[in-house]
């Protein structure tokens, strides 16, 4: 027997015991691991999101590989936002409501983030973004929004240092027309206080033609320094189109902001499109960990996405660091896992906001996140007020396929050269066109076009157009309503046009000969108060009209002091008066029917009841009804009727005011035929256009008086030299703006085409200026121009106001009467039903009473007081408990009691009432109350 065998057996059992013990320990440790749900909202079909999601998964595996003893484990629940703002919000709502996530990573851009931030603030679920950089998101002021990326506002001082270094004084910021582009502009303007900044906004859905139109417009300006702040894809298209039209040549300066600079190499691997461009980007320090991560990431990404080839950008590094920070914060927060399962909502409706829970551990997680400090792949991770600490910025110059670092900018040291910390200037820069000469930043545009514009010399109506010539410099200037609209339209063209104005005089004040100067090539355009006519359109092309069209008549107004005696009846039509009166009677009857059995205010002799009912109904017209209403049905009817009366009275007041005003401002003439029949003189402005219309209408030429200005017109009308004025509506409005209380426009209106600008036949300016006029007239700029030249009196009446007022008819208020009628009918049905139910013994009595007798009995009951009502019960109880004087009769079975009234009103109520008590066989006393004026009796049984 081998003596060592027992020892070997013992060792085997010992090893087995240790192995079981360790397995149990490991199992217990695994059981203590808690899963924390984290939502991820990304545009999963984009390459950008795929890159960042790979980094996030690697961060999760790397972190728990280094920290196996952590008791918490993050578990991702990924949702696709599908490049849509609404879908991103719905995804976040679904994650919070149905998955009950503890935090959300995302979204991809700033547009998707706004609702998610507000949702996070409401539910206390921290939302961590590594790519939404717009400063506008900070203005929402949500403590549960964590920006683990660089805020766009932090780079504007670095851009300002570049401008200061080269001395540029003008900038055009080409931004995307959304929250991303809008957010940086206030900070950029503040940082570049000595630089004139213009913004050029391009829609994120803009096609290539729209981008070209905007670039052509920028090419015509003097500024040659452009800053691009859009998403990376749109920025690449802008640079491609700029290179096509020659805006990437010598003399131009192009800069890119942080997000584009980081992404440009990933979307344009050759970098030839952006050669010579400067870029600002946050500094990512080199490290062994970063180098190792890039190699591992590339192997994993190529394995997961074999069709894609790329490298992790700075956003992928921020995504990696965000997951690391969240995993550290979750472990530090010490969540109670039981809180995860409480209050789980079973509904799957992703848009049900009512069931969205409030996270019980959001504040602790937010506090833990704010205390996380570590050195990540993208640099130091340190959150200050929910924002990543402002990093060091690099100034990049794209040369060939390289990204040359020219310098660095920090908040403490400012701009320094990359090769020498002591030098605050850049090294050699390769500018667009491979030039080494520093651009001046502005140039005189070489493709501006100067055109000769004719302007009419007028004798009046200078608010439309006025042309002056400086006798010293011999420079012609023009101003007025038409000139402002013309120049506003030129500013909206995609190219620069400089107008040179020329004085144009006409002997007979007819613009036909002036328009012919455009026809024969003397002028490139004719601008002013030029009416579009068929004759002129055969010789030149007109733009779209910029004024209201038509020729109308203007006459003086008179104050009619002798008002119509019966004008107070005119606001309502006859059918409305009759219907209102009938409803007053109906409401009075219904209220009386509900109240006279339970309310002493509606009782008494018949004539008194009728008068009270009518008085109550009509007093609601001024809300002066003083009779109390105790029945709920009556109250319901009165409430509805008071609303109807309120609407009726207010409408009557408004229409009566209108009638009185109309009577005051009556035109002296309302018919053209009256002018012709009476042989009145009428006025027209110098020129053959309106005169021809009057002659065609049959006016005698000897009765036509010409005037040249609004002052002349006012004088002719004031001294009654003319009875009316015929002119185009814009001129009449100009006169009314100065004399609005004296004149008014009336019918008829003769159709014309309005005012337009004249260009030669087939001129390319015609269509472009017409489109620009539409932009001007449909915007707020048009209102400013009109207020500048015409609105001199704020108390002027609207000349469009018709001098007629129509009576209000039943068709305007039939809905109100229908409501009142239905309310009264329903209340009446309820009353009848209750009354018949309470008196069913009278209807279904087995006696042989006839129907007539039963109806008579019902009407008698209907006319009696309802002593079951609380209004009479209170009085009865009060009187029974009050002192009484008792008179005994000779019969021992009956006792008469005369109540002692406490007041005069009670005396009137009970002076005719007799009360008698009669013993009964059951041991009760039967009380019979007789009311002499109504022949009623009520019996009740009282214990002895």
- What confidence tens digit (pLDDT) does each residue in 182-199 have? 999 999 999 998 888 999
In a domain, 16, yes or no: no
pLDDT of residue 656: 77
Whole-prediction pTM = 0.51
Q: Residue 935 burial by CB count (10 A; 0-12/13-18/19+): exposed, middle or buried?
A: exposed
For residue range 528-549, list pLDDT tens digits in order. 988 888 888 988 999 999 988 8
Q: d(Cα 602, Cα 596) in Å, to the nearest integer? A: 5
- Is there a single domain that holds both residue 236 and residue 370? no
CATH number at residue 232: 3.40.50.2300
Rounded to the nearest 5 degrees, what angle is found at the Cα of 403, between the Cα atoms of 43 and 51? 20
pLDDT of residue 909: 43
In a domain, 19, yes or no: no
User: If you write DSSP's letter for every residue of 161-217 in order, what string do you get?
Assistant: HHHHHHT--EEEEEEESSHHHHHHHHHHHHH-TTSEEEEEEE-TT--HHHHHHHHHH
In a domain, 13, yes or no: no
pLDDT of residue 923: 45
H helix runs in 373-455, sequence order: none
Q: Residue 778 burial by CB count (10 A; 0-12/13-18/19+): exposed, middle or buried?
A: exposed
pLDDT of residue 851: 64
Residue 938 has pLDDT above 70, yes or no: no
Closest C-alpha among 105, 89, 184 to residue 148: 105
738 — alpha (psi -120 to 50), left (phi > 0) or beta?
alpha
C-alpha distances in angstroms, 781 versus 484, 546, 777?
10, 13, 7
Residue 898 has pLDDT above 70, yes or no: no
Residue 857 has pLDDT above 80, yes or no: no
- Is there a single domain that holds both residue 242 and residue 268? yes
Q: How many CA atoms lie within 13 A of 120 on its CB side?
A: 31
Cβ partners under 8 Å of residue 248, min gap 6: 239, 242, 254, 275, 276, 432, 433
In a domain, 168, yes or no: yes
CATH number at residue 767: 3.40.190.10
- Is there a single domain that holds both residue 69 and residue 125? yes
Please give the helix or strand (H or E) that residue 325 lies within, else none.
helix 314-333
- Is there a single domain that holds both residue 410 and residue 267? yes
- Is there a single domain that holds both residue 236 and residue 309? no
Confidence at 13, pLDDT banded by 50, 70, 90: low
Q: Which two tokens stand for residue 559?
A: 């104050």
- Is there a single domain that holds both residue 129 and residue 179? no
Rounded to the nearest 5 degrees, what angle is found at the Cα of 389, between the Cα atoms of 388 and 395? 105
pLDDT of residue 878: 45
- Is there a single domain that holds both residue 630 and residue 511? no
User: If you write DSSP's letter for every residue of 44-76 in order, what string do you get?
Assistant: TTSHHHHHHHHHHHHHHHHHHHH-TT-SEEEEE
- Given 614, 646, 663, which residue is the final one in a domain? 663
For residue range 276-308, list pLDDT tens digits in order. 999 999 999 999 999 999 999 999 998 888 888
In a domain, 118, yes or no: yes
Share of the chain above pLDDT 90, in %: 32
Share of the chain above pLDDT 70, in %: 76
Q: d(Cα 633, Cα 631) in Å, to the nearest integer? A: 5
Rounded to the nearest 5 degrees, what angle is found at the Cα of 439, between the Cα atoms of 436 and 442? 165
Lowest mean pLDDT segment, chosen from 488-492, 591-595, 828-832, 935-939: 935-939
Q: Which two tokens stand for residue 782?
A: 């048009």
pLDDT of residue 816: 81
Answer whether 476's CB lies under 8 Å from 503's CB: yes
For residue range 793-841, list pLDDT tens digits in order. 444 544 444 444 567 777 778 888 888 888 888 888 887 787 777 766 6
The 3-state secondary structure of 671-724 reads CHHHHHHHCCCEEEECCHHHHHHHHHCCCCHHHEEEECCHHHHHHHHHCCCCCE
pLDDT of residue 753: 82
Q: d(Cα 7, Cα 1) in Å, to the nearest integer? A: 13
- Is there a single domain that holds both residue 229 and residue 159? yes
Confidence at 688, pLDDT banded by 50, 70, 90: low
Q: d(Cα 940, Cα 788) in Å, to the nearest integer? A: 88
Angle between helices 208-219 and 232-244 in degrees, nearest 10: 60
Rounded to the nearest 5 degrees, what angle is found at the Cα of 246, between the Cα atoms of 200 and 198? 20
In a domain, 871, yes or no: no
- Is there a single domain that holds both residue 396 and residue 270? yes
- Is there a single domain that holds both residue 403 and residue 280? yes
Which range of 227-231, 352-356, 401-405 scores highest in mean pLDDT? It is: 227-231
Q: Which two tokens stand for residue 634?
A: 């009556």
Which range of 504-518, 565-579, 637-651, 694-708 scores highest in mean pLDDT? It is: 694-708
- Given 608, 637, 663, which residue is the final one in a domain? 663
Q: Which domain, by its residues, includes 404?
A: 152-285+392-417
- Is there a single domain that holds both residue 164 and residue 262? yes
Cβ partners under 8 Å of residue 852, min gap 6: none
Answer whether 501's CB lies under 8 Å from 453's CB: yes
Answer whether 591's CB lies under 8 Å from 613's CB: yes
In a domain, 248, yes or no: yes
Closest C-alpha among 615, 617, 608 to residue 645: 617
- 748 prior amide bond cis, ω within 30: yes
Q: Which two tokens stand for residue 860?
A: 């008698």
Mean pLDDT rounded to a whole number for the chain: 79
- The pair phi, psi for residue 309, each rounded to 5°, is -130, 120
For residue range 597-654, list pLDDT tens digits in order. 776 666 667 777 777 777 777 777 766 666 677 777 778 888 888 888 888 888 878 8
Q: d(Cα 597, Cα 407) in Å, to the nearest integer? A: 98
- Is there a single domain that holds both residue 525 and residue 459? yes
In sequence order, the β-bridge partners of residue 745 are: 554
- 107 prior amide bond cis, ω within 30: yes
Structure-token match 């009380």, residue found: 927
Q: d(Cα 136, Cα 874) in Å, to the nearest integer? A: 68
Lowest mean pLDDT segment, chosen from 15-29, 335-349, 758-772: 335-349
Overall domain count for the chain: 5
Q: d(Cα 414, Cα 433) in Å, to the nearest integer? A: 29
pLDDT of residue 409: 93
More confident residue, 584 or 350: 584
Cβ partners under 8 Å of residue 587, min gap 6: 617, 620, 637, 638, 641, 820, 824
C-alpha distances in angstroms, 684 versus 389, 692, 710, 724?
74, 10, 11, 9
In a domain, 746, yes or no: yes
Cβ partners under 8 Å of residue 501, min gap 6: 453, 454, 455, 467, 476, 477, 478
Closest C-alpha among 589, 597, 587 to residue 859: 597
Q: d(Cα 65, Cα 882) in Å, to the nearest integer? A: 94
Structure-token match 């009677």, residue found: 585
Cβ partners under 8 Å of residue 220, min gap 6: 445, 447, 448, 495, 496
Q: d(Cα 944, Cα 941) in Å, to the nearest integer? A: 9
Q: d(Cα 506, Cα 514) in Å, to the nearest integer? A: 7
């Amino acid at each position: 027997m081998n003596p060592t065998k027992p020892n070997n057996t013992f060792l085997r059992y010992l090893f087995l015991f240790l192995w079981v013990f360790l397995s149990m320990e490991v199992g217990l440790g695994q059981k203590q691991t808690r899963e924390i749900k984290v939502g991820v909202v990304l545009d999963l079909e984009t390459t950008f999101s795929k890159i960042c999601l790979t980094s996030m998964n690697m961060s999760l595996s790397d972190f728990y590989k280094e920290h196996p003893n952590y008791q918490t484990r993050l578990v991702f629940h990924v949702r696709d936002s599908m490049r849509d703002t609404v879908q991103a919000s719905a995804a976040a709502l679904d994650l919070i409501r149905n998955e009950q996530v503890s935090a959300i990573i995302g979204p991809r851009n700033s547009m998707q983030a706004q609702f998610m931030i507000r949702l996070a603030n409401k539910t206390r679920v921290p939302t961590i973004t590594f790519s939404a950089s717009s400063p506008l998101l900070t203005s929402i002021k949500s403590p549960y929004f964590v920006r683990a990326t660089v805020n766009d506002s932090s780079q504007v001082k670095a851009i300002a240092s570049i401008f200061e270094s080269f001395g540029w004084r003008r900038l055009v910021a080409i931004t995307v027309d959304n929250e991303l582009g809008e957010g940086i502009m206030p900070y950029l303007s503040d940082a570049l206080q000595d630089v004139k900044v213009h913004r050029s906004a391009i829609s994120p859905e803009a096609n290539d033609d729209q981008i070209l139109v905007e670039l052509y417009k920028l090419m015509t300006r003097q500024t040659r320094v452009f800053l691009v702040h859009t998403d990376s894809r749109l920025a690449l298209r802008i640079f491609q189109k700029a290179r096509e039209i020659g805006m990437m040549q010598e003399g131009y300066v192009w800069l890119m902001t942080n997000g584009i600079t980081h992404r440009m190499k990933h979307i344009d691997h050759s970098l030839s499109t952006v050669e010579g461009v400067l870029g600002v980007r946050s500094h990512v320090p080199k490290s062994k960990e970063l180098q190792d991560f890039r190699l591992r990431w590339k192997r994993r990404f190529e394995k997961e996405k074999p069709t894609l080839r790329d490298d992790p950008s700075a956003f992928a590094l921020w995504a990696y660091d965000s997951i690391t920070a969240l995993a550290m914060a979750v472990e530090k927060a010490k969540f109670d896992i039981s809180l995860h399962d409480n209050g789980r909502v079973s509904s799957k409706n992703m848009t049900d906001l009512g069931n969205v829970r409030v996270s019980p551990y959001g504040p602790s997680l937010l506090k833990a996140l704010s205390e996380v400090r570590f050195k990540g792949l993208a640099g130091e991770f340190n959150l200050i007020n929910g924002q990543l600490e402002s990093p060091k910025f690099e100034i990049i110059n794209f040369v060939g396929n390289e990204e040359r670092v020219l310098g660095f900018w920090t908040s403490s040291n400012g701009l320094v050269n990359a090769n020498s910390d002591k030098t605050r200037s850049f090294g050699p820069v390769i500018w667009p066109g491979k030039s080494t000469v520093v651009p001046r930043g502005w140039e005189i545009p070489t493709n501006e076009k100067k055109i000769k514009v004719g302007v009419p010399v007028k004798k009046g109506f200078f608010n439309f157009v006025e042309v002056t010539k400086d006798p010293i410099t011999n420079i012609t200037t023009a101003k007025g309503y038409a000139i402002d609209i013309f120049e506003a339209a030129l500013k909206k063209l995609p190219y620069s046009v400089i107008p040179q104005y020329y004085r144009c005089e006409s002997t007979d004040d007819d613009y036909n000969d002036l328009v012919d100067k455009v026809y024969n090539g003397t002028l490139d355009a004719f601008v002013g108060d030029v009416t579009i006519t068929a004759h002129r359109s055969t010789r030149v092309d007109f733009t779209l009209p910029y004024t209201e069209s038509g020729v109308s008549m203007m006459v003086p107004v008179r104050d009619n002091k002798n008002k119509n005696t019966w004008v107070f009846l005119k606001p309502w039509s006859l059918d409305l008066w009759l219907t209102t009166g009938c409803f007053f009677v109906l409401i009075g009857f219904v209220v009386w029917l509900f109240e006279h059995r339970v309310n002493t205010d509606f009782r008494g002799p018949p004539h008194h009841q009728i008068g009270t009912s009518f008085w109550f109904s009509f007093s609601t017209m001024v809300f002066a009804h003083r009779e109390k209403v105790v029945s709920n049905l009556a109250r319901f009817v009165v409430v509805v009727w008071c609303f109807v009366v309120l609407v009726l009275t207010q409408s009557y007041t408004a229409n009566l005011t209108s009638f009185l005003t109309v009577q005051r401002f009556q035109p002296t003439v309302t018919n053209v035929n009256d002018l012709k029949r009476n042989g009145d003189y009428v006025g027209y402005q110098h020129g053959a256009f309106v005169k021809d219309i009057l002659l065609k209408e049959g006016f005698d030429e000897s009765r036509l008086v010409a005037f040249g200005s609004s002052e002349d017109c006012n004088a002719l009308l004031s001294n009654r030299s003319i009875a009316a004025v015929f002119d185009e509506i814009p001129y009449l409005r100009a006169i009314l703006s100065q004399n609005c209380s004296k004149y008014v426009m009336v019918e008829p209106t003769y159709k014309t085409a309005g005012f337009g600008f004249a260009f030669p036949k087939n001129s390319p300016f015609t269509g472009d200026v017409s489109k620009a006029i539409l932009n001007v007239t449909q915007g707020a700029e048009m209102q400013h121009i009109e207020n500048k030249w015409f609105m001199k009196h704020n108390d002027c009446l609207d000349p469009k106001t018709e001098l007629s007022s129509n009576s209000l008819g039943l068709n305007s208020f039939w809905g109100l009467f229908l409501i009142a009628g239905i309310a009264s009918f329903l209340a009446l049905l309820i009353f009848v039903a209750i009354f018949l139910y309470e008196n069913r013994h009278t209807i279904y009595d087995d006696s042989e009473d006839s129907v007539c007798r039963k109806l008579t009995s019902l009407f008698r009951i209907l006319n009696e007081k309802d002593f079951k009502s609380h209004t009479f019960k209170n009085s009865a109880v009060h009187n029974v408990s009050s002192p009484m004087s008792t008179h005994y009769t000779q019969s021992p079975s009956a006792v008469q009691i005369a109540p002692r009234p406490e007041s005069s009103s009670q005396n009137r109520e009970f002076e005719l009432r007799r009360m008698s008590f009669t013993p009964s066989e059951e041991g009760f006393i039967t009380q019979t109350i007789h009311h002499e004026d109504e022949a009623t009796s009520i019996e009740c049984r009282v214990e002895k």
